[in-house]
């Protein structure tokens, strides 16, 4: 009797196992291009070529190698460092979903091919490879410590203001941008390898600063111009000092209007210094003269800002939204917030390197 029961249970277990779903382990190619080979040996044959983003099913784990199967059922071995696991792949997928509705702060062009990282930092996991000269949408800026150069000596402590107690040296920082590419892939790219898209016509007016963004406010018609249909765009421009790790996205707002008399751009409005934060918004509003262009941006109400320790994203603790409208070439502040705008000089001075004072020789 007991034997019959045991046999039934065994058959039942075997039958259930047939219906159990076999868990498939997947990895994804992070290398630009790679061959899977028929064996792990000094001499081996190529089985198939795989490229960045390709999914592979894991069949067997080896030492530093994985036996995998492609979507075309080609089986071979690939180096483990050339792929990412499902956990990292899911992190990129979740990041794209979380930020698919984020407003675009600006657009930029890659100087050369770059990997998207799952978090800011050169040593973090990376996956999608974006080709050089590709256009990406900039969403959010973050600043993290720059890795030390191997073999480099640590910076000497800086003397304090009283000349007694040395102040600890601050680590060099570098900016990263959360970006979205034309395929909807989202990840972090090193900011120093990106060039913000700025029209050449106003790019020459940088005055030693770097453009953070340039946005068309409106157009004017100049019959003597070379523009398409003689329509010339007028721009809102955001600028910042050429330095990474700043506690703000921009500290200067300028409006470039077109002079019909001189046929050139002129600065109609400048606000500096402030602690400004992206994104800026361009829209239209109604004035006594009809519909006119307008814009808004966020700024910090004080020096109270917060930095996310996980990403390095800095935001004001109490942000304010400031609005302006432009009637012809006059830019006028509007909106519910008409309180004075605090100067961002303290934050700017803190972030910028101070030039050493040269001693006079007697």
pLDDT digits (tens, 9 = 90+) for 299-347: 988 778 899 988 999 999 889 999 999 999 999 999 999 999 988 766 5
Confidence of residue 69 (pLDDT cuts 50, 70, 90): very high
Instruction: Tell me: pLDDT of 358 over 80.
Output: no
Instruction: Tell me: pLDDT of 193 over 50.
Output: yes
Q: What is the pLDDT of residue 346?
A: 64
284 touches 290 (CB < 8 A): no
Confidence of residue 359 (pLDDT cuts 50, 70, 90): very low
Average of pLDDT values for 129-145?
97
Q: If DSSP codes are grouped into helix, strand and coil, which group holds residue 6?
A: helix
Chain segment 258-291, per-residue pLDDT in tens: 999 999 999 999 999 999 999 999 999 999 889 9
d(CA 341, CA 285): 22
Confidence of residue 173 (pLDDT cuts 50, 70, 90): very high
Q: What is the pLDDT of residue 268?
A: 97
d(CA 110, CA 315): 26
Average of pLDDT values for 114-143?
97
Global pTM reads 0.84
Chain segment 210-223, per-residue pLDDT in tens: 999 999 999 999 99
Chain segment 4-24, per-residue pLDDT in tens: 555 455 555 555 444 445 589
For β-strands 210-221 and 231-240, DSSP reports them as antiparallel
d(CA 115, CA 129): 4
Q: If DSSP codes are grouped into helix, strand and coil, which group holds residue 201?
A: helix
Share of the chain above pLDDT 90, in %: 75
Range name among 28-32, 154-158, 354-358 with the lowest pLDDT average: 354-358
Looking up tokens 């799952």 gives 118
User: How far lies 224's CA from each of 97, 220, 349, in Å?
Assistant: 48, 12, 44
Mean pLDDT of the chain, nearest integer: 88
Instruction: Tell me: pLDDT of 250 over 90.
Output: yes
Instruction: Tell me: pLDDT of 189 over 60.
Output: yes
Average of pLDDT values for 176-190?
97
Q: What is the pLDDT of residue 343?
A: 83
Confidence of residue 134 (pLDDT cuts 50, 70, 90): very high
Confidence of residue 94 (pLDDT cuts 50, 70, 90): very high
Looking up tokens 């990412």 gives 84
């Amino acid at each position: 009797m007991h034997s019959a029961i045991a046999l039934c249970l065994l058959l039942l277990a075997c039958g259930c196992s047939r219906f159990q779903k076999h868990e498939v382990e997947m990895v994804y190619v992070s290398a630009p291009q790679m061959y899977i080979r028929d064996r792990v040996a000094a001499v081996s044959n190529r089985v198939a070529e795989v490229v960045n983003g390709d999914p592979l099913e894991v069949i067997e784990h080896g030492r530093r190698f994985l036996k995998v199967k492609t979507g075309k059922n080609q089986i071979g071995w690939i180096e483990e460092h050339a792929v990412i696991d499902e956990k990292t792949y899911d992190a990129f997928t979740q990041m794209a979903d979380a930020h698919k509705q984020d407003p675009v702060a600006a657009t930029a062009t890659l100087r050369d091919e770059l990997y998207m990282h799952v978090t800011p930092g050169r040593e973090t996991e990376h996956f999608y490879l974006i080709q050089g000269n590709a256009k990406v949408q900039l969403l959010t800026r973050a600043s993290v410590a720059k890795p030390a150069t191997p073999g480099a000596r640590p910076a000497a402590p800086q003397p304090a203001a009283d000349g007694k107690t040395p102040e600890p040296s601050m680590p060099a920082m570098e900016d990263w941008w959360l970006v979205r590419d034309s395929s909807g892939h989202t990840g972090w790219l090193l900011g120093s390898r990106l060039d913000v898209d700025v029209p050449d016509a106003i790019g020459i007016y940088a005055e030693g600063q770097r453009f953070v963004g340039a946005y068309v406010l409106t157009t004017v018609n100049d019959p003597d111009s070379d523009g398409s249909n003689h329509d010339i765009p007028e721009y809102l421009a955001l600028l910042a000092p050429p330095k990474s790790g700043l506690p703000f996205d921009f500290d200067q707002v300028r409006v470039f209007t077109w002079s019909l008399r001189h046929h050139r751009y002129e600065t109609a409005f400048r606000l500096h210094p402030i602690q400004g934060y992206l994104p800026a918004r361009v829209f239209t509003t109604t004035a006594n003269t009809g519909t006119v262009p307008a814009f808004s941006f966020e700024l910090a109400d004080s020096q109270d800002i917060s930095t996310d320790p996980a990403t390095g994203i800095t935001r004001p603790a109490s942000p304010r939204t400031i609005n302006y409208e432009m009637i012809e070439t006059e830019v006028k502040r509007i909106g519910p917030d008409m309180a004075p705008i605090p100067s961002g000089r303290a934050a700017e001075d803190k972030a910028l390197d101070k030039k050493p004072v040269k001693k006079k020789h007697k």
